[in-house]
Structure 1
């Protein structure tokens, strides 16, 4: 089978077949009527600023989608935060991109949701190690999308091997409960020793310490077994057995310290979100976050035509919109105080405003380069500038 997992192939996306059927009907109708107006369309989630910021990403896939098509596109930079107004503007003959709307919105909506949730977890413990463990909760074909969004939001690493190959970063991880089961209860020390002997020196010695006995007992046994080679213990206590998780972590920390194992870190995982991380960040050294990121709501982007003309000259164009949307070509600005402002493009912005929409595609040529590290730096800096507050999201 050429497509054993039933995923939509890349060719279908690039050719515009990964679309909603009504766009195909629209093309047939317009071609029958001899119409192909010149339009300006904008992608937005909210028309006016709301004060609730989200992270914009997925833009590199959009650039690939539109490469070679007769359009001009401006968009926010990868990793920029926004709370209203357009994040992207497309100008050109409507039939150049009509069928691409479905894929375009998908490329932006879900990754932006992942990145926003990841940013919330990052800022819940800014001085701790936070890793992405969520790839198991999504279809394998989009694992790299999850992990890239997590890195963009400032997380320190991720677990998915194939995603790492795509992103160009190495995946991390140590041991699952399955490894402990294979050695059996009472043989935890054998499992940790075998792991220590088998894996490369660059792999941290993090012992899973909650499988058969209580967390304190297994953590102390791991410390006794591996001695100075032990970097840390991971506590992944099931929610039904967790009780006061903070107390458990404090107890483990106390007992390790009491026996001279102050250098052994404690790493927590298992259904953690920003609130739990914030509650634990002063007693734990690191966190693995999964479903909070992958379960994030997609950003509800839509694409709307805001200006239209029968010819190719904008001088003869007319603003247009559906009810509830704002007509006319718009620009967005960031002011020095972190404000996000929306204005008609021809009217100018705030005196101290920085225009955020930047060229992405010109006459079908991608004119922007993409750098994950730079996008991550932008995301974290912009989060500080706008006062992004995880507890308010």
Structure 2
């Protein structure tokens, strides 16, 4: 596995240190107590969606699979752990041979999720599973937050293309992951070339205000860009006077001008004025692209404006106010001994303060109403009811340490569009509200719904 595929600098040999220290100290203690080899089941879920969100989006699964494959302890990593005295020599010897050999099940990437959904299930020995907690959560929490914001923005944009352009507003490696998550969520292209190179996402971009300011006249800047990129280019028209810039742009490029971009001002008012001016100048096919700190609410407010595409940066890469999905990675079952075939015992945190969890290895299914629209997320720990057998959500991602379900990004993108379309219409409302469908828990013994 090439570390470049993970968005890592070439001098980072593995993902093994994308980990909190206590994963290693737990490992050492478990090795000493003889419990490290107990078969264990960990689940990733969130207790609640971000305030006001109607659904979540599973994103980052493909990156998780890459990270698990690349979770290796080479000499440099082992040397660091030894030098810092983080673990003892016996633990270092165990780590030197580490390869995840367990199973991972999860919601298909691009699927939607709700509070309590077992988004990912990691099974194996306690020792091999506990080490993956931080890297799995860091990927899923970030990517799912970005994808959820992107999905809301894409829904607000309707059929109009939406461009991801937030690389300069976040960490350089997070920018690549954000572009991937945004494309999954419905964005059509990115300005980030690293994302285009790594994931095949379409890339776009022409010029910034600096290019206009470089030239003695705005006309000279437009002429230089058209000479270089052709008449179908996009000219930025709000460096000085918008009306004058539009007039100059059409004079330079002719009615074949591809698009103009507006990056400031009252976008609703300016877009109407620019559309009227372009039409009067004969540039009826010239598109209007708007940028400038857009979010889903701003995009929705421009629904009636003559806008052809949107560009979104800061609000997208920060999750539009919710930069994390608040997912957790919890032990829900473990064997009662290290003996092969030892039965699993459900375990769960029972403390107060809203952080309780439900023990047991879970399945999940989505129940549909008579019209084929989702009406409930059903999560259970016992046998799957026959009527839900064909609606189960978890698929096998890793079996015996081998990846089973790596997918092209376009497949994931299409899956999300289909999953969102299968939700009640209120899922696309931007007003604050509860999750669009409830989560129901099926009791292991009775098989009866207990409510969310």
Name the CA distance, whole Å, in 2 between partners of 1:81 and 1:23.
29
Report the CA distance between 1:331 and its aligned residue: 1.1
Map 1:106-117 to 2 at 5 A.
106-117=138-149
Once the two structures are superposed, residues 26-77 of structure 1 have per-residue CA deviations (whole angstroms, 9 ceiling, x without a partner) of 11111121222211110001279x9821110111121123334121110111
- Show the counterpart of 1:217: 244
Aligned to 1:290: 313
Greater RCO (Cα-Cα under 8 Å, separation 6 or more): 1
The Cα of 1:180 is off from its aligned counterpart by: 0.5
SS in 1 for 2:374: coil
Which residue is equivalent to 1:3?
A: none
Corresponding residue for residue 226 of structure 1: 253
Q: Retained in 1: the 8 A contact 2:107–2:395? A: yes
5+ long unaligned stretches in structure 2: 1-7, 70-98, 351-355, 433-452
- State the 1:253 CA deviation: 1.3
2:359 to 317, 327, 341: 327
Provide the C-alpha distance between the structure 2 equivalents of 1:268 and 1:91, rounded to a whole number of angstroms: 47
1:346 to 382, 388, 398: 382
1:51–1:194 CA distance, 2 compared to 1 (3 A): closer
Alpha-carbon contact 1:118-1:293 (below 8 Å) kept = yes
TM-score by length of 1: 0.90
Give 1:259 deviation, angstroms: 2.7
Question: For the residues of structure 1 that align with 2:48 and 2:191, how far apart are their CA atoms?
Answer: 37
Secondary structure of residue in 2 paired with 1:52: coil
Q: Distance in 1 between matches of 2:420 and 2:332?
A: 29
Q: Which ranges in structure 1 are unaligned for 5 or more consecutive residues? A: 1-5
Match of 2:103 among 56, 63, 72: 72
Equivalence map 1:122-271=2 (5 Å): 122-184=154-216, 187-199=217-229, 204-213=232-241, 215-237=242-264, 242=265, 244-271=266-293
Match of 1:375 in 2: 412
> Does the Cα contact within 8 Å between 2:167 and 2:175 map onto a contact in 1?
yes
Q: Quote the Cα distance in structure 2 between the aligned partners of 1:47 and 1:164.
A: 33
In structure 2, the CA distance between the partners of 1:154 and 1:272, relative to structure 1 (3 Å rule), is same
In the alignment, the residues of structure 2 paired with residue 148 and residue 373 of structure 1 have an alpha-carbon distance, to the nearest angstrom, of 10
Contact 1:210 1:235 in 2 (8 A): yes
Structure 2: how far apart are the matches of 1:72 and 1:360? 8
Aligned to 2:435: none
Residue in 2 that maps onto 1:391: 430
Choose 372-381 or 17-26, whichever is displaced more.
17-26
Greater CA drift, 125-134 or 331-340: 331-340
Q: Distance in 1 between matches of 2:339 and 2:205?
A: 55
CA contact (8 A) 1:47 1:325 kept: no
The aligned counterpart of 2:327 is 301
Classify the secondary structure of the residue corresponding to 1:391: coil
Give the alignment partner of residue 277 of structure 1, picking from 285, 299, 306.
299
Give the structure-2-normalised TM-score. Answer: 0.78
Tell me if the contact between 1:47 and 1:86 (Cα under 8 Å) persists in the aligned partners. no
Structure 1 residue 275: Cα displacement: 1.4
Farther off after superposition, 146-155 or 359-368:
146-155
Q: Distance in 2 between matches of 1:367 and 1:377?
A: 20
Paired residue total: 376
Residue 26 (structure 1) aligns with? 26
Q: Distance in 1 between matches of 2:287 and 2:380?
A: 53
Does residue 42 (structure 1) correspond to residue 64 (structure 2)? The answer is: no
Structure 1 SS opposite 2:222: helix
2:334–2:347 CA contact under 8 A, matched in 1 = yes
* CA deviation after TM superposition for structure 1 residue 189, in Å: 1.3
C-alpha spacing 1:312/1:131, structure 2 compared with 1 (3 Å) = farther
Deviation at 1:233, TM superposition (A): 0.6
